[in-house]
């Protein structure tokens, strides 16, 4: 079963929208200051930030979770499952890590399939049966093999640059008052406030899109969509009772995890980095013919 939701196309459109937003806000800075070098400067800064975060994505994510590499002697089950799935996919086998937290979750990171890592928390090892764990690892491996880390790194870096440019617009927005009057200055400042919000929503939409892809591709790799559905159901139930305590470090990794590790609030659906769990489970059950 191939993608019926055009998630690859959606991701391309969303990233295009992020670039368009960056150029728009950068043009505001250039217009407000009368200097087009601002536009090029922020663009180059965005490219440099993207490259740095992408190249160091694995070490940054693993360090933020205090993860340690899992040896095959300590975790033979994990190594056996990952090796079997990597061979089935015809792809390199990533390194395997364990994060010392009781909140059940897992994530993948790395700049390419040859430089990838899969990390499981101690909590997920305790609540999942082998069939469910295999399904989760299949999901994470497909994040690596689909090169989702590049997509996420680009989106996160661009969102950061847009926020920086928008701040410059806000503080420099009055520079063209003589040309456009107070109304133009107010318009620029309102746009500067709205741009980071729009960039954040686009970034979340990209994350949700990639989760659907990894669910589907991972279920096809393991040939067991119901096992992944069962695992997701357990993860949501346990996380509601044992959420991860948010910190600046783990909040940056949360979007990479297979399930939202934090307890949701009133605005959960709007600002969630993951699709609704019920929708993900329903799609997997449909794959299985339910």
For residue 251, the model assigns a pLDDT of: 73
| Cα–Cα distances in angstroms (integers) from residue 112 to residues 47, 94, 151, 186, 278, in the given order | 18, 10, 12, 44, 31
DSSP 113: G
Report the alpha-carbon distance of residue 22 to residue 167 in Å, rounded: 12
For residue 24, the model assigns a pLDDT of: 73
- What does DSSP say about strands 106-110 and 116-121: parallel, antiparallel, or unpaired? antiparallel
Report the alpha-carbon distance of residue 45 to residue 18 in Å, rounded: 15
The pTM for the full model equals 0.78
Report the alpha-carbon distance of residue 239 to residue 128 in Å, rounded: 13
Please check whether residue 215 is in contact with residue 281, taking contact to mean a CB–CB distance below 8 angstroms: no
* Distance of alpha carbon 132 from the chain centroid: 22
pLDDT one digit per residue (tens) for the chain, 290 residues: 444 445 566 667 766 777 777 777 667 667 666 777 767 776 777 677 767 777 887 888 899 899 999 999 999 999 999 999 999 999 999 999 999 999 999 999 888 899 899 999 999 999 999 999 999 999 999 999 988 876 776 666 666 667 666 666 666 554 544 454 555 555 556 666 666 666 666 666 667 788 998 999 999 999 999 999 999 999 999 998 888 888 777 777 887 899 988 866 544 454 567 889 999 999 999 999 87
For residue 50, the model assigns a pLDDT of: 67
Exposure pattern of 154-180 as b/e (b: 16+ CB <10 Å)? bbbbbbbbbbbbbbbbbebbebbeeee
For residue 15, the model assigns a pLDDT of: 67
Q: What amino acid positions are annotated as catalytic residues? A: 140
| Cα–Cα distances in angstroms (integers) from residue 220 to residues 53, 63, 87, 155, in the given order | 30, 31, 14, 27
């Amino acid at each position: 079963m191939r993608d019926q939701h055009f998630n690859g196309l959606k991701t391309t459109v969303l990233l295009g929208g992020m670039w368009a937003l960056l150029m728009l806000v950068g043009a505001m800075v250039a217009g407000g200051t009368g200097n087009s070098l601002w536009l090029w400067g922020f663009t180059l800064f965005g490219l440099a930030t993207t490259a740095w975060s992408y190249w160091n994505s694995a070490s940054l994510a693993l360090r933020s979770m205090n993860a340690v590499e899992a040896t095959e002697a300590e975790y033979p089950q994990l190594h056996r499952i990952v090796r079997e799935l990597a061979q089935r996919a015809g792809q390199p086998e990533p390194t395997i890590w364990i994060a010392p937290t009781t909140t059940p979750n897992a994530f993948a990171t790395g700049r390419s399939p040859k430089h990838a890592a899969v990390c499981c928390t101690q909590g997920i090892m305790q609540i999942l049966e082998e069939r469910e764990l295999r399904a989760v690892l299949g999901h994470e491996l497909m994040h690596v093999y689909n090169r989702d880390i590049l997509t996420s790194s680009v989106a996160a870096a661009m969102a950061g640059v847009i926020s920086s440019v928008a701040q410059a617009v806000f503080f420099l927005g009055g520079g063209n008052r003589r040309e456009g009057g107070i109304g133009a200055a107010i318009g620029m400042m309102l746009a500067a406030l709205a741009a980071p919000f729009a960039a954040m929503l686009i970034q979340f939409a990209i994350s949700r899109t990639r989760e659907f892809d990894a669910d589907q591709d991972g279920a096809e790799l393991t040939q067991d969509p119901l096992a992944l559905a069962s695992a997701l159901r357990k993860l949501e139930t346990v996380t509601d009772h044992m959420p991860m305590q948010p910190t600046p470090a783990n909040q940056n990794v949360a979007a990479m995890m297979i399930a939202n590790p934090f307890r949701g609030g009133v605005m959960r659906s709007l600002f969630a980095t993951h699709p609704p769990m019920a929708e993900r489970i329903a799609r997997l059950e449909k794959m299985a013919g339910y």
